[in-house]
């Protein structure tokens, strides 16, 4: 047995067990404080910016100082490792800051109208000087439109993805995949114009004595056009991640392909499919242009998505944000917060349901 084995018996040689010189935490914090002080002196001394520039320059000075000091104490290799680790953490913080800023802005400005009147009334007979009025009609419209669009888009999207992964071969499958990719980037206004020209102006007159009519169902069709490519592409990628031996094992036991897809492939890919579906739902719930074009918006409550104009939360936010009333901005912020909360609740519920189904298999 070697001397090293006798001295370190039972000890796994990991980076944590290797004794090297480490940069003390106090020196690290001192470098950060010095960087911020130098940045503040430069920015405010020359009058070239505000606290945002101070933070940015402070990070730059901190990295420079960290490289110099850590290089002397820990050595150049450890200093470079520490600097890149700091850059990664800084990039993570920079990515989280905009999201945190959006959430804080929504919550701080949206709580003003979080009351029973907002959730229990509509904008019917509400004037510019009336502080009351709510988004009950918009919440109903959003839930109905997105719900109908989901009922249409999810089966079509999942079946289309199953065809592309399990059955699609040759030129036709490549053509379908190409058009799905093209539709992924289609502007929402184009989907609204398509449903306006086809459903509202051509099909709806057949059911309304020759008169075109806006409806929430038309908005659902437009949202379906936007949701389909996202569901197809995300589901296709999740199905491709299912290991081939799972399929081969089922085939070896004599299980037909359709039952293998239903009992093996889809349950395995279910969490990823749910994520893709919720991304599509979130996009559909936040669309304004299609609803404005084919549903028209309405100030009163309309529970029937197949007849008459209907409002949505996204369109309600757009209209209230441009309203001249001094009470409109508060309604817009609360409606935006409500929309985010609805999408968040639906996403959490779908994730929990998918997890429960996967654990019960």
- What average pLDDT does this structure show over 39-65? 87
Q: What is the pLDDT at residue 4? A: 46
For residue 273, pLDDT beyond 80: yes
Report pLDDT digits (tens) over 292-343.
999 988 888 999 999 888 999 999 999 999 888 889 999 999 999 999 999 9
Contact criterion met (CB below 8 Å) for 212 and 201? yes
CA atoms within 13 A on the CB side of 176: 18
Q: Which two tokens stand for residue 115?
A: 């009351």
Two structure tokens written together for 301: 């409550």
Give the model's pLDDT for residue 313.
93
Mean pLDDT taken over the chain:
87
Contacts of 233 (CB under 8 A, 6+ apart): 161, 180, 181, 184, 276
Domain extents in the chain: 18-112, 118-356
pLDDT per residue over 274-302, tens digit each?
Answer: 989 999 999 999 999 999 999 988 888 99
- The answer to whether the beta carbons of residues 204 and 218 sit under 8 Å apart is yes
Please report, to the nearest 10 degrees, the dihedral formed by the alpha carbons of residues 51, 57, 59, 61 taken in order: -140
The model's confidence at residue 194, banded by pLDDT at 50, 70 and 90, is very high
> What is the three-class DSSP state of 169?
coil
Q: What is the pLDDT of residue 361?
A: 54
Whole-number pLDDT of residue 3: 45
Residues recorded for the chain: 361
Q: What does the pLDDT look like over 88-111, one tens digit per residue?
A: 988 888 889 888 888 999 999 999
Please state which architecture CATH assigns to domain 118-356: Orthogonal Bundle (1.10)
Q: What is the CA radius of gyration of the chain?
A: 28
Query: For position 360, what pLDDT does the model report?
Result: 55
φ/ψ of residue 295, rounded to 5: -105, -20
Specify the pLDDT at position 47: 85
Question: What is the reported pLDDT for 195?
Answer: 93
* Residue 20 in this model has a pLDDT that exceeds 80: no
């Amino acid at each position: 047995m070697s001397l090293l084995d006798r001295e370190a018996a039972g000890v796994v040689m990991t980076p944590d067990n290797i004794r090297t010189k480490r940069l003390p935490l106090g020196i690290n914090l001192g470098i950060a404080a010095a960087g911020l002080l130098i940045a503040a002196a430069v920015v405010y001394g020359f009058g070239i910016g505000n606290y945002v520039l101070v933070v940015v320059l402070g990070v730059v000075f901190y990295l420079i100082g960290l490289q110099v000091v850590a290089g002397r104490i820990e050595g150049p290799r450890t200093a470079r490792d520490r600097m890149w680790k700091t850059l990664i953490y800084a990039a993570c913080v920079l990515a989280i800051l905009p999201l945190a800023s959006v959430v804080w802005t929504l919550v701080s400005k949206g709580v003003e109208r979080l009351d029973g009147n907002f959730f229990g009334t509509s904008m019917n007979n509400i004037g510019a000087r009336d502080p009351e009025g709510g988004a009950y009609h918009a919440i109903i419209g959003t839930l109905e439109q997105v719900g109908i669009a989901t009922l249409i888009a999810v089966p079509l999207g999942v079946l289309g993805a199953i065809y592309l992964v399990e059955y699609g071969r040759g030129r036709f499958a490549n053509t379908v995949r190409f058009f799905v990719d093209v539709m992924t980037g289609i502007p929402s206004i184009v989907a609204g114009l398509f449903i306006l020209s086809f459903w509202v102006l051509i099909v709806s007159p057949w059911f309304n004595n020759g008169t075109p009519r806006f409806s929430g169902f038309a908005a659902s069709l437009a949202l379906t056009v936007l949701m389909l490519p996202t569901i197809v592409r995300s589901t296709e990628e999740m199905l491709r991640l299912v290991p081939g031996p799972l399929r081969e094992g089922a085939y070896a036991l004599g299980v037909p392909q359709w039952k293998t897809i239903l009992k093996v492939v889809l349950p395995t890919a279910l969490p990823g499919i749910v994520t893709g579906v919720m991304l599509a739902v979130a996009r559909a719930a936040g669309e304004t242009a299609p609803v404005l074009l084919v549903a028209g918006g309405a100030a009163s409550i309309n529970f029937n998505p197949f007849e008459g104009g209907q409002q949505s939360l996204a369109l309600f936010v757009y209209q209230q944000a441009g309203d001249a009333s001094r009470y409109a901005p508060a309604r817009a912020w609360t409606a935006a917060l409500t929309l985010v909360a609805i999408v968040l609740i639906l996403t959490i519920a779908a994730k929990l349901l998918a997890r429960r189904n996967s654990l019960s298999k």
